[in-house]
Structure 1
């Protein structure tokens, strides 16, 4: 479960191969050729049943792509118990011969149980199985040179092959882990490139929008067609100055870009002696760039028209992002959700307002729902 995706897939197919080898070894039933020599026979039957049962459980788990979990250690104990039972009922002088079928089978069952575990655990298991057979060889009768050579040569296959399979599995996991890390790195690079492209496009759109709104204003002031003492002109100049300041910080590396950009507007409002405040609540997660632009521009009319005070509040929840602004600006023209200039063509932004006519306090809220659905 904790393996990287590529390693887990490789290990799954290796698991099928090891199960196939174990099944072929067990189903060959080589012990039937010596069934009349075992004393008592029931020990061999129990040993064979234990190993076959482990193989069947492994087959079911493999089909379901499940692991043994903590039950693997019970399987390890049963496999070693099968090794002991088989040794106890072998005829004298037959350890490591054709009658000792468990010597060549138990090791593969160990690989089945410990394929996805550290290599040292498989080595310990195979060592325990090898030691059980060696002790039985010594205790079962006189040990001559032929018996020792037969035991050593038999160990090369019955212990060496499962051990080699474990080494291959360890190397495969390491290689697949490197491949998965390289894949994630490549994906991160691609994601960074996509983000950079979107950021560059957003900056280009922002500069284009600023040129379209600030350009006529500057030309009007230059040719005298606009009066710098006109409150509406002064408000428009303040709005363009705030937008320009936001544009300068658009590429800053900060935890939350929306809050960072809104602070620029609040700071700009303070420069014209408005008591402006800002607060945010919830876990800050930036919306898409076009939505962030729309939410960021939303408080500008209130901040620009506020006479003495204003407050901006940003609320982040798992369902929506809300930007609320309140100030003593009186009645102003409200942006409409379908207005491209007001919302940056960002679908799903709801706008509401409340005006207290007694003190000219205006409360406005823009809410973007994370589902992306447009309000009905």
Structure 2
């Protein structure tokens, strides 16, 4: 199935071809047949001139052109009803025209072929060919009715059919061929664009994985090296807190790529789970307000103080989030004592820490203004 853009391109060329068919039809009707009708009117009178038939053709062509240009669907009933009018007009014009089918004042046969091109523009090519065959059969019937079905006239009819059908068939087939080529080119461009987008997406995913790996590596390698070398004192509060921070960061990293509606709350839940595995009771309060979609770097900066405090918590902690479209504040209160100060939360996030009565309070706050300044 063609993509919407490819279908639009094909429709653009098809509509352009419709304009060509309308211009050819109108040009022929005005420039080629109108003078003939006027001449016959002056010489033979209104009825034998075919002026009324000329007006009926003009009305049928106008209705068809307006209907197609306004985008009304190609229903079978209307086009073929108009085709019947055209064939009847051709029959009547040839019967009343001075000189008969091959006379100078007969315009119905060629006009019917050009008008039928517009009328059946949105119909399958086989239907238009059927109309041309019907057009030729009407002309043959007229020759028989007028007693003019001689070899010379039949040969002339074949020549007229070939000449009169060549132009509209060329327009119909040529426009469809150009439109199909344009559609295939658009489809190829769409496929190339999808391929480029897929490659860029894959590269972005790979870059994110590399960045995550480097972050994890920076988090745990120093600790692992220290443990392997025996240079870290596992009994020291700072060492235990550093290990707890590294473990919690790893859990946060694992959920950062999850497809969830609220990534920040999801990552805070992972941090709380890591602390609860160490026996800390964590009360994670549902966010007050709607948390906007934040980049991963900002979410990390908002959760870093929480991770540091949870690593130092003795038994209980409470995490709250207050959010709006312009500001997000993540706060934690815990019975904790930090062995080392909390690292900078980043340029776009401001961090405050206060300790009183054995309780440690920390808050990381992101605002639109601070983000824009960074």
TM-score, normalization by structure 2: 0.66
Asked if 1:240 is matched to 2:246, the reply is yes
Question: What SS class does the counterpart of residue 266 from structure 1 fall into?
Answer: helix
Mark the structure with the bigger radius of gyration.
2
Question: What SS class does the counterpart of residue 183 from structure 1 fall into?
Answer: helix
Per the TM alignment, residue 153 of structure 1 is displaced from its structure 2 partner at its CA by 2.8
Question: Does the 8 Å contact 1:18/1:108 carry over to 2?
Answer: no
Greater helix content = 2
Per the TM alignment, residue 30 of structure 1 is displaced from its structure 2 partner at its CA by 2.0
Q: Who is 2:308 aligned against?
A: 301
Structure 2 matches for 1:183-194, cutoff 5 A? 183-194=192-203
User: Which has the larger displacement, 145-154 or 300-309?
Assistant: 145-154
Q: Cα deviations across residues 321-362 of structure 1 (Å, max 9, x unaligned)?
A: 957454434697997xxx8x423x5x4x4x577989799484
Cα distance in 2 for residues equivalent to 1:130 and 1:315: 76
1:270 aligns with one of 276, 279, 294: 276
Unpaired runs of 5+ residues, structure 1, are: 62-67, 115-120
Q: Cα deviations across residues 145-192 of structure 1 (Å, max 9, x unaligned)?
A: 617635753575256334423642563365135314412332223322
Asked if 1:41 is matched to 2:48, the reply is no
Q: What do you get for the CA RMSD once the two structures are aligned?
A: 5.1
Cα distance in 2 for residues equivalent to 1:295 and 1:217: 26
Q: Who is 1:20 aligned against?
A: 20
Per the TM alignment, residue 269 of structure 1 is displaced from its structure 2 partner at its CA by 0.7
Q: Who is 1:255 aligned against?
A: 259
Structure 2 matches for 1:1-376, cutoff 5 A? 4-9=4-9, 11-13=11-13, 15-28=15-28, 29-35=31-37, 36=40, 40-51=50-61, 68-70=70-72, 76=79, 80=83, 83-84=86-87, 86-87=89-90, 89-92=92-95, 93-94=100-101, 99-110=108-119, 114=122, 121-123=123-125, 126=128, 129-130=131-132, 133=135, 136-137=138-139, 140=142, 142=144, 144=149, 146=154, 149-150=158-159, 153=162, 156-157=165-166, 160-165=169-174, 167-168=176-177, 171-172=180-181, 175-176=184-185, 178-203=187-212, 205-207=214-216, 209-210=218-219, 215=222, 219=226, 228-247=234-253, 249=254, 254-256=258-260, 261-276=267-282, 287-310=294-317, 319=325, 322=328, 324-329=330-335, 341-343=344-346, 345=347, 347=348, 349=349, 351=350, 360=359, 362=361, 364=363, 366-367=365-366, 373-374=371-372
Per the TM alignment, residue 239 of structure 1 is displaced from its structure 2 partner at its CA by 0.7
Call closer, same or farther: CA 1:186–1:244 in 2, change over 3 Å.
same
Call closer, same or farther: CA 1:3–1:234 in 2, change over 3 Å.
closer
Cα distance in 2 for residues equivalent to 1:32 and 1:372: 76
TM-score, normalization by structure 1: 0.66
Question: What SS class does the counterpart of residue 308 from structure 1 fall into?
Answer: strand
Cα distance in 2 for residues equivalent to 1:192 and 1:243: 25
Number of aligned residue pairs: 345
Question: What SS class does the counterpart of residue 94 from structure 1 fall into?
Answer: coil
